[in-house]
Chain A
Amino acid sequence: MTSVPIVADTAVPNPSLLARAIGFFSGPVGLAIKLILLGALNALAIWAIGVLLSEEKWIAALAIAAATLVIDLVYLVPSRRLIPLKFLVPGTVFLVAFVVIPIISNANIALSNWSTGHNLSKDEAIVAIEEVSLVAPADGTTYTATPATKDGELVLLLVDDVDGGLYVGSEDGLEPLPPEAARVDAGAIVAAEGYDVVQGEGLAGIDAALRGLVIPTGGDTFVRAEGLTLAIELQPTLEYDEATDTFTNIETGVVYKDNGEGSYESAAGEALEPGWRTYVGFENFSTILTDPLVRDPFVRVFVWTFSYAFLSVFIQFAIGLFLAIVLNKPDLKLQRIQRAFLVLPFAIPAFLSVLVWQGLLNDEFGVINETLGTSVPWLFDPTWAKVSCILVNVWIGFPYWFLVCTAALQAVPEELTEAARVDGAGPLQVFRRVTLPLLLVVTAPLLIASFAFNFNVFNNIYFLTGGGPYGVEQSVAGSTDILISYTYKLAFSAGQGAQYGLAAAVSIFIFFIVAGISAISFWRTKGLETIR
């Protein structure tokens, strides 16, 4: 272990620190830390598996068990072949957790009908439909109820709200209670012979028994507790048949069948609420392609999104680069302070700047029109609103490019520009032929990433124009809606409120559009690499 003498490199300050740290953590201390972390991870995994098993989610439980076992083996088994895995496993875990699982779950939602009215499981929906179908019969009675027990069994002591008659309600039905056997106070029975009235803290524990207590009163009507002090007579209007999986209206005989799209529907097309969440295959995708409400604005919104992202990045970059070059002169006075001021817009949270800009751009009351003495409809005219969106986005984004370009300019070798100048190139030529290409090598990947980012800046649109203004013929998408804000509106302000399935499908489209554009751009800019 110590056969080779270490030659101290004087250029590195305090070279022994790293070595000492490695030595310190390689010993029992490191082992202890590793054991504690792995132990905590295992405890977490066992707890999670317990929860998942109790909810009968077998696949997830198995996946966690397998993953934990792999992690334990990688860090405990002393094999040289496993050493690369020690570095690969944590990254892979995070990749799966934060990239792969969200994509899978998004795709999963896109294939479902999850939306307003389709939010429950089918079993929950059946229970809810039965509950909603209960009505108070025309001659139904309401009672003031007092929960009580007899021989450990829960019953209801009831006072008829109309005639004041006293009853005991149990699973066997209603039994009259002799008035002398009960004490009534303020319309409710407070004590009864042979019964233990449930009161005080006892009330907290009877929920399940109370809800399970159905007191038959002849036919299909029954009396049931509503809350703790009230019981009402109810009658179902729909009947569920488990064998055929249908609901039948008891009065009219209309049959509601599972329509395969998460609802019970009658032959006349009337659906029962609520429905349930189910898989509908590629229906959401075909809706995007065929429904005029979705399809018609798509192209218009796509063109605007593309121009918005492209112009934003291009102008941001141009201004950032220009300022970086201007401020790059070494003999400039107050260079640092000037740079700091330019970075300010970048330091303010973007959505705050957007809200401030919204106030500044107001065409009747805004400072900008007031100062310029103009009456430009910044936010109320479709074209000007687009200009405003780009303007604000440029304000938010140019400091980033100023920083990037300032850094990149330092990296352009002085000798090259010097050589170009010696060869007789003017400053513009030096910039175009030497500085810019070298700069683009560094910044091209960032430009593409920034383009992809600006494709999806929801806040900047949502808080500035809200997608508006809307033309007379525009419905879901306004003149400044970009794809992501349009998706949001499609999901939350069309139809009956939330349409998660459809929105997830649109977001998958957006993913492919952005991924496609990025891939093409990266491929095209490969040419720049050869400049090196």
Chain B
Amino acid sequence: MLSTRRLRVVAGLAVTAIAAVVAVSSGSSATNQATKLVIWADADRVPAVTQVANAWAAPKGVTVQVVQKNFGDIRSQLNTVAAETAPDVIVGAHDWVGELSANGSVLPLSPSAATKKQFPAYALNSFSYGIAVKKLYGAPVALENIALVTNTALAKVPTSFADMEKQALAAKKKTKAQVGIAVQQGSGGDAYHMYPFFSGLGGYIFGTNAVGNLDPSNIGVANAKFLKNAPLIDRWNKEALIRSQVAWDTGRDLFTKGKVAYYITGPWFLSDIQKSGVKYAISGFPQIVPGIKSVPFLGVQGFMVTKFSAPHGVESLAKDLVANYMMQPSAQLALALSNGRFPANLKAGAQVKDKDLKAFGKASAGGVPMPNIPQMASVWGDLGAAWVRSTKGAGAIPARRSFLGAQKSIAQKIG
């Protein structure tokens, strides 16, 4: 009697298991039949990417799956994602390219010569990387940079830095604000937002070698020219022209509440500024020291094809989407405007009507693309910290000493 019961048990088990396995395997074979392209994009871009990719995919019978990710997570998760769920195409920033290429995570692209002609050289350059052979790893889509925003009720657009300093301090006195110019920093520092000052005083991050590649052994954070001009930072700190206590939110509030005459920010705060009703003008940065231009960092965002597209059997499709379709003017316009950025494609750029976006574009003149070599990871923190040490008000450390320290520590980290 016991043995028949055992038998029933074993039979029952076998039946359930087989049924489940059949269900699982039939389910997976059904999904294998359709060609699927997986794209990782950030929340702002998901609708535009979906629309553009579907328009491309429909005639080819390809299914597109757009997965929403935090922008910054895309970079790190690409290292650890399982191959089955990995993306074939990602959106990313140009300064990830060195790391992603050194990891072998993204594939080189070759758009046609006619397509490449439609892009500014720096946009393609900033997405190119290679020690011996430089290759393009991304299709540039959107350009972004910071600019000088003037509260025109408090001050005029400056004609020189001395003029800006005078007007900013006068406005500061009038509104009883803590600072004259709002530049977001915070206790951790923010090298991206202080770069116009840094470059205007003669600072640079990496020099270039004979081939024209960035050279991580040539660090210019405390070069002689910059050190000569660095005491200006100490003066600005003393007169509270700038202060690193201004964080991203306090900086925005200072400007939108009409407390400061000048604000250094990017297109991401445009809607807040417009909503506040403050009258504003967007321009480039005035020259601080004769002979040296004060320029912002340039950021280029674009799409890349991952190494996973080959095993997924969609490499040529992904390359067609990214290096061909997405680089055309109409797709560029849709993708860039979806999060309020200027399109990288020159023809698409000519169609932009928004005068603020155009003004940000103009302020990018002469700007420096953020270095895309992986060694840049060692720079951000130290450069930001150096600025904070020298602009924190009371107890600040003289800029010369502070930036020499940063230079030493960056060199040590890069090794």
Interface pair A211/B315, CB less than 8 Å apart:
yes
B405 cross-chain contacts in A, Cβ below 8 A: 471-473
Question: Cβ of B45 < 8 Å from any Cβ of A?
Answer: no
Interchain CA distance A379-B20 in the complex, whole Å: 58
Interface pair A465/B103, CB less than 8 Å apart:
no
Question: Cβ of A325 < 8 Å from any Cβ of B?
Answer: no
B415 cross-chain contacts in A, Cβ below 8 A: 293, 495
Interface pair B395/A377, CB less than 8 Å apart:
yes
Interchain CA distance A201-B388 in the complex, whole Å: 57
Interface pair B16/A120, CB less than 8 Å apart:
no
Interface pair A42/B385, CB less than 8 Å apart:
no
B72 to chain A, nearest CB (A): 11
Interface pair B16/A470, CB less than 8 Å apart:
no
Q: Is the interface of B mostly helix, strand, loop or mixed?
A: helix
* Sample (10) of A-B pairs whose CB atoms are under 8 Å apart: A35-B16, A43-B24, A116-B102, A132-B108, A226-B323, A274-B103, A365-B178, A492-B76, A495-B375, A495-B377
Our pick among A47, A380, A474 for the contact of B245 (Cβ within 8 Å) is A380
- Among B135-188, those with CB < 8 Å from A are 135, 178-179, 187-188
Question: Cβ of B215 < 8 Å from any Cβ of A?
Answer: no
B97 to chain A, nearest CB (A): 12
Residue of A43, A78, A381, A470 ringed by the most chain B CB atoms within 10 A: A470
A124 cross-chain contacts in B, Cβ below 8 A: 104, 307
Q: Closest A residue to B377 by CB, please name it.
A: A497
Interface pair A362/B385, CB less than 8 Å apart:
no
Interface pair A161/B113, CB less than 8 Å apart:
yes
B366 cross-chain contacts in A, Cβ below 8 A: none
B134 to chain A, nearest CB (A): 10
Question: Cβ of B389 < 8 Å from any Cβ of A?
Answer: yes
Interface pair B377/A207, CB less than 8 Å apart:
no
Interchain CA distance A336-B214 in the complex, whole Å: 65
- Among B98-117, those with CB < 8 Å from A are 99, 101-105, 107-114
Interface pair A161/B393, CB less than 8 Å apart:
no
Question: Cβ of B131 < 8 Å from any Cβ of A?
Answer: yes
User: A35-B9, A76-B9, A119-B103 known; A211 and B378 CB under 8 Å?
Assistant: no
Interchain CA distance A133-B108 in the complex, whole Å: 11
Interchain CA distance A204-B320 in the complex, whole Å: 11
Q: Closest A residue to B381 by CB, please name it.
A: A493
Our pick among A44, A226, A379, A493 for the contact of B378 (Cβ within 8 Å) is A493
Stretch at the interface among A172-180, A227-235, A431-439: A227-235
Our pick among A120, A228, A274, A468 for the contact of B320 (Cβ within 8 Å) is A228
A132 cross-chain contacts in B, Cβ below 8 A: 101, 108, 130, 133, 135
User: A35-B12, A119-B103 known; A472 and B402 CB under 8 Å?
Assistant: yes
Question: Cβ of A399 < 8 Å from any Cβ of B?
Answer: no
Q: Closest B residue to A499 by CB, please name it.
A: B377
A379 cross-chain contacts in B, Cβ below 8 A: 187
Interchain CA distance A206-B315 in the complex, whole Å: 10
A473 cross-chain contacts in B, Cβ below 8 A: 405, 409
B202 to chain A, nearest CB (A): 20
B103 cross-chain contacts in A, Cβ below 8 A: 116-117, 119-120, 274
B56 to chain A, nearest CB (A): 11
- Among A463-481, those with CB < 8 Å from B are 465-476, 478
Question: Cβ of B316 < 8 Å from any Cβ of A?
Answer: yes
B20 cross-chain contacts in A, Cβ below 8 A: 39-40, 42-44, 47
Known: A237-B133, A364-B179. 7 other contacts (CB 8 A): A43-B17, A204-B60, A211-B316, A229-B324, A274-B101, A377-B392, A469-B388
Question: Cβ of B207 < 8 Å from any Cβ of A?
Answer: no
Interchain CA distance A35-B79 in the complex, whole Å: 40
> Chain B 4-22 against A: per-residue CB contact (8 Å), 1 yes, 0 no?
0010011011011101110
Interface pair A210/B316, CB less than 8 Å apart:
yes
Interface pair B187/A40, CB less than 8 Å apart:
no
Question: Cβ of A289 < 8 Å from any Cβ of B?
Answer: no
User: A35-B9, A132-B108 known; A496 and B375 CB under 8 Å?
Assistant: yes
Interface pair B317/A40, CB less than 8 Å apart:
no
How many chain A residues touch the partner (CB < 8 A)? 87
Interface pair A496/B374, CB less than 8 Å apart:
yes
User: A43-B16, A200-B59, A359-B249 known; A475 and B409 CB under 8 Å?
Assistant: yes
User: A132-B133, A204-B317, A468-B385 known; A364 and B59 CB under 8 Å?
Assistant: no
Question: Cβ of B341 < 8 Å from any Cβ of A?
Answer: no
Residues of B within 8 A of A (CB): 2, 6, 9-10, 12-13, 15-17, 19-21, 24-25, 35, 59-62, 76, 79, 99, 101-105, 107-114, 130-133, 135, 178-179, 187-189, 243-247, 249-250, 307, 310, 313-317, 319-320, 323-324, 374-375, 377-378, 380-382, 385, 388-389, 392-395, 397, 401-402, 404-405, 409, 412-415
Question: Cβ of A142 < 8 Å from any Cβ of B?
Answer: yes
Q: Closest A residue to B324 by CB, please name it.
A: A227
B110 cross-chain contacts in A, Cβ below 8 A: 136, 226, 230, 232
Interface pair B317/A273, CB less than 8 Å apart:
no
Residue of B2, B25, B103, B397 ringed by the most chain A CB atoms within 10 A: B103
Interchain CA distance A183-B389 in the complex, whole Å: 69
Interface pair B35/A205, CB less than 8 Å apart:
yes
Interface pair B79/A119, CB less than 8 Å apart:
yes
Q: Closest B residue to A470 by CB, please name it.
A: B385
Interface pair B317/A228, CB less than 8 Å apart:
yes
- Among A366-399, those with CB < 8 Å from B are 375, 377, 379-381, 385
A206 cross-chain contacts in B, Cβ below 8 A: 316
Interface pair B21/A46, CB less than 8 Å apart:
yes
Interchain CA distance A232-B381 in the complex, whole Å: 42
Q: Closest B residue to A364 by CB, please name it.
A: B245
Interface pair B79/A207, CB less than 8 Å apart:
no
B341 to chain A, nearest CB (A): 25
Interface pair A207/B414, CB less than 8 Å apart:
no
Interface pair B131/A496, CB less than 8 Å apart:
no
> Chain A 89-101 against B: per-residue CB contact (8 Å), 1 yes, 0 no?
0000000000000
Our pick among B112, B188, B244, B404 for the contact of A230 (Cβ within 8 Å) is B112
Question: Cβ of A203 < 8 Å from any Cβ of B?
Answer: yes
A29 cross-chain contacts in B, Cβ below 8 A: none
Q: Closest A residue to B391 by CB, please name it.
A: A380
Residue of B6, B62, B187, B250 ringed by the most chain A CB atoms within 10 A: B187
Our pick among A142, A237, A375, A470 for the contact of B394 (Cβ within 8 Å) is A375
User: A43-B20, A497-B99 known; A273 and B13 CB under 8 Å?
Assistant: no
User: A43-B24, A128-B307, A362-B250 known; A204 and B187 CB under 8 Å?
Assistant: no
A80 to chain B, nearest CB (A): 14
Interchain CA distance A274-B129 in the complex, whole Å: 12
Interface pair B245/A203, CB less than 8 Å apart:
no
B131 cross-chain contacts in A, Cβ below 8 A: 270, 273
A131 to chain B, nearest CB (A): 7
B88 to chain A, nearest CB (A): 11
Interface pair B374/A497, CB less than 8 Å apart:
yes
Our pick among B16, B104, B323, B412 for the contact of A274 (Cβ within 8 Å) is B104
Q: Closest A residue to B57 by CB, please name it.
A: A204
B57 to chain A, nearest CB (A): 9
Interchain CA distance A465-B186 in the complex, whole Å: 9
Interface pair A128/B104, CB less than 8 Å apart:
yes
Interchain CA distance A161-B115 in the complex, whole Å: 12
Interface pair A35/B13, CB less than 8 Å apart:
yes
Interchain CA distance A225-B2 in the complex, whole Å: 68
Interface pair A117/B323, CB less than 8 Å apart:
no
Question: Cβ of A125 < 8 Å from any Cβ of B?
Answer: yes
Interface pair A293/B316, CB less than 8 Å apart:
no
Interface pair B104/A42, CB less than 8 Å apart:
no
Residue of B104, B111, B413 ringed by the most chain A CB atoms within 10 A: B104
B313 cross-chain contacts in A, Cβ below 8 A: 207-208
Question: Cβ of A197 < 8 Å from any Cβ of B?
Answer: no
